[in-house]
Structure 1
Amino acid sequence: MDPIDYFTEENSADVVIARIKNANDKRLAAVMEVFVRHLHAAVKEIEPTYDEWERAIWFLTATGQICDDKRQEWILLSDVLGVSMLVDAINTRRPEGATENTVLGPFHVEDVPHREMGSSISDDGKGEPLYASGRVVDVDGNPIKGAVIDTWQASHDGFYDNQQPDVQPEHNLRGIYKTGADGRYFYRSIKPCYYGIPKDGPVGKLLLGLNRGNTRPAHLHYIVSAPGFETVTTHIFVNDDPYLTKDAVFGVKQSLIGNFEHHDDVEKAAKLNISNPYWSVEYDFVLTASQQN
């Protein structure tokens, strides 16, 4: 009888991995081998008591139990541990100068109205006016015609429309725009506010126990796509936000921090068809050619 058939503290991972060597799904087996080795190594390093391991089991149980069609606590856990950002970084490696990805977040919705370039996505008019503009270009700086810009954001007090269906109009602060031959985009909105991720569940209790905050810095969301180019899912962060280095989900990248400027200029505001005073941010999205090209 091979000694590896018998479980010991020393060979625990090897014994478990030996049981999956005949798996039909080789990728699954490879993933589980890495997972088992690291998990067993962590347990050996931590040496949890029975009570501590039971608490860990109940944490995982509670994380699953709070999930439903409107809330995904597992994604939230992945986010606050930095795993969502790591998986995103691995899958969106791009050349220097190209716009970087960051997390999609849980508040994107489908069937958003297409809006006329220059129009406002703020349907309730609440908040400090913002004029957002820029270009969609390739890595050589050439404008991309027909790029689709799907944008959404939180309100002036830190809530998305689908969080406040009785307060905000449906599709408030959401819109889809399409660039012309010059690759430019411009639209009106309001300056977004920082907000807290849910803290009433097991992930919130975990953050509390670690003395970590649950706040995301203010940002504008974007999905930018064009035929022949890789789709970019990203944010533009507000440069004066106090939580830039404390993002609960590690989504901030230095290249994604926009320069939000405050203006008090009645004449210029009138030309932009925006109330005065107002904020502006100009940011170019740089897309890379898709690998199929």
Structure 2
Amino acid sequence: MDFTVETATDAVVDSFRETEDQRLREILESLTRHLHAFVTDIKPTLEEWEAAIGFLTAVGRKCDDSRQEFVLLSDILGVSMIVETMNGAEEGTESTVLGPFHMTASPRRELGDSIDLVGTGRPCVVSGQVLSADGTPLPGAELDVWQCDEQGFYDVQQPDAQPPGNGRGLFRTDDEGRFWFRSVVPSHYPIPTDGPVGRLLEATGRHPYRPAHVHFIVSAAGHRPVTTHAFVAGSPYIGSDAVFAVKRSLITDFTESYDEQAAAHFGVATPFTHARFDVVLTPEVVLAPEAEASQ
């Protein structure tokens, strides 16, 4: 059969018919149909097609151990948030994007430790409790935390200015599911614009800024983990995040406190900034043996 624009889609879809992995076959068939429909819709010239291949090649070349340009591309196109939202729990703390800077392991820290190894920003305490959906505290839950500094940079962006692990910490909740750590108030910041994704934003007249936030990945035995942010209420760009990640329920007050008792408990001096961010996890659904057998 001749390969034409009209026959191309069916021919390529048919080429996957022997794929043993049915999920892989389903994905490839859908990808083929949607991609072919997109191409026949926009009718790219050969020069435009070559430019698209060159762009994707440049995105790949920009990826390294401390930078994930493909994640950044997925973020600014809204794909990351679609995937996160489709896979998020129906109850509990809402999920949001992982972001391109979770590229290095967070150091294990004790409750109350500071993740600020530089000490130049406004002192801040982040505290909260990890709970199951029914309100039961979850002792021993793990929180992987990372954030930029008060200038808007992550440690991996400034290896000469920030020590490795600055702004990062791996914590476990206490017997009542509580956690607290010291840090600085993060800043809003631009996503990296020195690569192909930045050039795409410039070409489309879009700004590259994200509102201030602290990243969390929270997990506990028997529960679905959640990747989320605590967004600083009132931060610039809270209504126009470049990666579409803000959800109303995640906007958190970072409030100036003069509470001497609280300051003594957290090991800081007054005044300090305090943010309360509770995390609710959804229990994993455990299927009965007969239900598993029927699937």
TM over 0.5: yes
1:74 is matched with which residue: 70, 82, 88?
Answer: 70
- The residue number in structure 1 matching 2:203 is 209
- In structure 1, C-alpha distance between the alignment counterparts of 2:138 and 2:102, rounded to whole Å: 24
Mapped contact 1:6–1:15 kept (Cα < 8 A): no
2:225–2:281 contact (8 Å) kept in structure 1: yes
State how far apart, in whole Å, the 2-side matches of 1:110 and 1:55 are: 32
**Residue of structure 2 in register with 1:26 after alignment:** 22
Identity %: 49
Select which of 46, 53, 74 maps to 1:57: 53
| CA–CA separation in structure 2 for the residues paired with 1:45 and 1:38 | 10
Q: Match of 1:190?
A: 184
Task: Calculate the TM-score normalised by the size of structure 2.
Answer: 0.89
- Maintained 8 Å contact 1:193/1:218: yes
The separation in 2 between residues aligned to 1:149 and 1:63, in whole angstroms, is 31
Note closer, same or farther for the CA distance 1:72–1:186 as it changes in structure 2 (3 Å cut): closer
Q: Does 1:95 align with 2:90?
A: yes
TM-aligned CA deviation for residue 47 of structure 1: 1.9
Which amino acid is 2:175 matched to?
A: A
The structural deviation recorded for 1:268 is 5.3
Whether 1:233 aligns to 2:232 is no
Partners of 2:180 and 2:70 in 1: how far apart?
36
Match of 2:37 among 26, 30, 41: 41
Seen in structure 2, the aligned counterparts of structure 1 residues 8 and 109 have a Cα distance that, compared at 3 Å, is closer
- The residue that corresponds to 2:250 in the other structure is 256
Q: Is residue 71–residue 99 contact of structure 2 (8 Å, CA) maintained in 1?
A: no
Aligned length: 287
Of the candidates 99, 104, 112, which is equivalent to residue 105 of structure 1? 99
State the alpha-carbon separation in 2 of the partners of residues 287 and 62 from structure 1. Answer: 38
Q: Which moved more, 1:12-21 or 1:227-236?
A: 12-21
Gaps of 5+ in 1: none
CA shift for structure 1 position 266: 5.9
After superposition, the C-alpha distances for 1:148-199 in whole angstroms (9 at most, x for unaligned) are: 2221111000111222222122222222222222211122211001111111
CA distance in 2, matches of 1:23, 1:236: 43
CA shift for structure 1 position 271: 5.2
Residue 274 of structure 2 corresponds to: 280
Structure 2 vs 1, CA of residues 152 and 69 (structure 1 numbering), >3 Å: closer, same or farther?
closer
Secondary structure of 1:235's partner?
Answer: strand
2:216 to 215, 222, 228: 222
1:70 CA drift (Å): 3.1
Paired residue type of 1:171: G
Residues 127-153 of structure 1: per-residue CA shift (max 9 Å, x gap): 111121111111111111111222111
Distance in 2 (CA, whole Å) between partners of 1:53 and 1:112 is: 41
Give the AA of the match of 1:242. Answer: P
Q: Which amino acid aligns with 1:232?
A: V
